[in-house]
Amino acid sequence: TTIDRATMGSTIIHTGVKLDNLIQVGHNVEIGAHTVIAAQAGIAGSTKIGKSCRIGGQAGFVGHVQIADGTQVQAQSGIASAVKEPNQYLFGSPAIGYKDFIRSYAVFKMLPALYRKLQKLEKKLNGQP
């Protein structure tokens, strides 16, 4: 794990934080009390992570965002913007709410079949055999 020193200000790891192996903590980052971060996560500079957050392995955070208390970020998710409401459960890249992710993924798996059906309908509408 690497924790970058701040040029101006401070990089702050609050009490009770647990960091796994091979985590990159950028400059001026603040990690709230009792947050747990799994291996290979990356937190870009000036990001503020709230208290009691749980962050899965290989998750990534853009810089200069704030993450609300109690946020859960699943493994390999990408946080591209601030998380303002506490106790969110996020997944994907860019990360979205877990229920929305599951619904989207179910549709995503059907896209090849839906595309073939759409092509057949277009041919039928255009009078092609």
The set of catalytic residues is: 27
Kindly report the number of other CB atoms within 10 A of residue 80's CB atom: 12
Helix (H) or strand (E) holding 43: strand 42-43
Beta bridge partners, 73, equal: 55, 90
94-102 contacts, C-beta under 8 A, 24 or more apart: 98/74
